[in-house]
Amino acid sequence: MQWFLAEIEKEDLEKIYIISSDDWLEFTPTFKIHDAVNSLGKVDEPHVENILKKKKMFEKGIDLLDRKFLLVSPSIIGNFTIIEGNKRLPN
């Protein structure tokens, strides 16, 4: 196992996935974070309100959020799955 510290760049977004669970299926059957974000305004789910609150915090100031996430990947070039990080974001 190897560990890397990295910054997510725009071109990486298509390679980032949410860990698959039934509560994300309404947002994205692909589990791609890009698809989930694009469907936020189109889906009426309890999760949406919490996600949009975090988005507003981000817009007020990026330093209000912990921006460290743990992702796993079979290689340094992706694809990547977020396995930890969301629960540390304030509600």
Q: Which amino acid is at 7?
A: E
Each residue's pLDDT tens digit, 8-36: 888 888 999 988 777 777 778 888 988 88
Look at the pTM and tell me if it is higher than 0.85: no
Q: Which residues of 10-49 are buried (b: 16+ CB within 10 A; e: fewer)?
A: eebeebbbbeeeeebebbbeebbbebbeeeeeeeeeeebe
- Domains of the chain, residue spans: 12-88
